[in-house]
A and B are shown apart, each in its own frame.
Chain A
Amino acid sequence: MLNDAGSKLCRAGVALVAAAVLAGCAGPTTTSHLLPPPPSESIRLGLGKVAVASGRFPSKFDIVDGPAKGAGQGAARGALLGAAYTIGGGALAGPIGLVASAFLLPVGAVGGGIIGGVTAESATKVEERIAAVGRSLSPRRIQNDLVNRVASTGRQQTSGAFTVLAERSMVNLNGRAEYRSLVEDGTSTVLEISVAELSLRGGTAEVDPSLHLGMTVQTRLLRTADDAELYRNSLTYIGGQGRTLAEWLDRVEFLRAEIDRAAEVVAEKIVDEVFLLVSFPRGGKH
């Protein structure tokens, strides 16, 4: 009977720990979308001269799931973490440890809550840091750099002719981009690049989480003759280097280097997808 109960508790504990681990390891929210197939060869053959243009840009740099703001948030996150560690540690010790950890759960939660409450920085201080990181970066410049890099990669990797359009030079009175006038100078296609999101992302469970760069870039291929959309995709760069908000702020040059790397990776992927990539035949081995 006791064995049966222990076994059930053990399963429940393992499931709880697995859920906690998965929640903690999930990282930034990523869409489950897959890339659309690359443009068809008939579209590619008709591209001609390509102008790379800057689309809409984000108004600010975001921190998503960043550090706890104040003792209240810190205590809440610390309590959750304390409880999870107590159950997790107990589950590792087997059924008896799991039963013991169930009794110790409130202790872990309270302990974690106290630590979280003490270690969390004030909301004002966190907000100041977020604002300081935001001031040190210019999303508009980041987008323009990306546009230039896409054009440069296109020239290196393909035989196509790539030019860069002056920022927002084609916006009409309604704020919409119109590229029809480019037909006159022989530009038949526009590749529009928009940095849709630029953020540092962390995990909600931690008091002062490690934050990773996230950059989402939307790409549209447009025919200038009628502004028809020939192709679109969205890419999200997820950085490998994680630092706390304070660490990123102390070494803003590291953040700039990470953004530079993101732009390089994304620009190359855009050129691959739009101009170069062919999928293996269907039915073959991928």
Chain B
Amino acid sequence: MRGLVAVLFLSLAACATPLEVAGLRPLSPEAYSHGPKLGSLQPELRWEPFPRPTDLETDRGGWVSRALHVTYDLRIWRGSRDPYGYQEVYPAELVYSRTALAAPAHTVETPLEHDTQYLWSVRARFEIDGQQRVTPWSVLLLPGQSAIDDPRSTSVPSRRYYRFATP
């Protein structure tokens, strides 16, 4: 029983700190399993720029240093309850999409719906040797997640995009 209690406390603690992510980390709103409730129907979303210092460090002389004309793609989906229960939100409908944003931040230009769960994700778009390339869409990483949640899962669409809720 003590083990169960410990697991419960660890789970609660995990809810309070931002999660690990795969891809460009969101700066606002931060990466939580339960999306934070935002104050606006047209929120400003911010994320870390590409390339990140770690990308340059670990890829000295590799493709990262050849990436030119970096822009960002952003997507927002209306969330619905996940059909299988063990994940909470499913990207039911793509409601907002922007390609080739110049900066790692964007204020949503059309109002979203009230009191609704949304999922969002970003990726970098750039050129390498004259060819268009992209990084993977960013997703949450949860401890103990199943194979279906792995960023390289064969299952689509991902259930692990970043989350927020509207007021």
B147 and A32 within 8 A (CB): yes
Q: Is B21 an interface residue (CB 8 A)?
A: yes
Query: Is B153 on the interface with A (CB-CB < 8 A)?
Result: yes
> Closest CB-CB distance, B118 to chain A, in whole Å?
14
Q: Determine the chain A residues whose CB is within 8 A of the CB of B150 once the complex forms.
A: 34
Across the interface, name the chain A residue whose C-beta is closest to B87: A25
Q: List 14 A-B contacts (CB under 8 A).
A: A35-B154, A41-B63, A159-B131, A159-B132, A210-B83, A233-B154, A236-B154, A237-B155, A238-B148, A284-B52, A284-B57, A286-B23, A286-B136, A286-B141
User: How many A-B pairs fall under 8 Å by CB?
Assistant: 115
The yes or no answer to A26 lying at the interface (CB within 8 A) is yes
List 9 tightest A-B contacts by C-beta distance, closest first: A281-B59, A27-B84, A286-B22, A240-B90, A283-B58, A32-B147, A34-B152, A25-B85, A284-B58
In the complex, A233→B132 CA distance in Å? 21
A31 on interface, CB distance cutoff 8 Å: yes
What range describes how many residues of B lie at the interface? 35 or more
Measured between C-beta atoms, what is the minimum distance from B23 to chain A in Å?
6
- Residues of chain B touching chain A, judged by Cβ–Cβ distance below 8 Å, are 1, 4, 21-23, 25, 52, 54-55, 57-59, 62-64, 80, 82-86, 90-92, 128-129, 131-136, 141, 147-148, 150-157
Q: For B148, list chain A residues within 8 Å (CB).
A: 30, 238
* A226-270 CB contacts (< 8 Å) to partner B: 233-242, 265-266, 269
**Can you name 8 extra interface pairs (CB under 8 A) apart from A45-B131, A278-B63?**
A41-B63, A159-B132, A237-B156, A239-B83, A240-B92, A266-B156, A277-B133, A284-B58
Q: Are A44 and B58 in contact (CB under 8 A)?
A: no
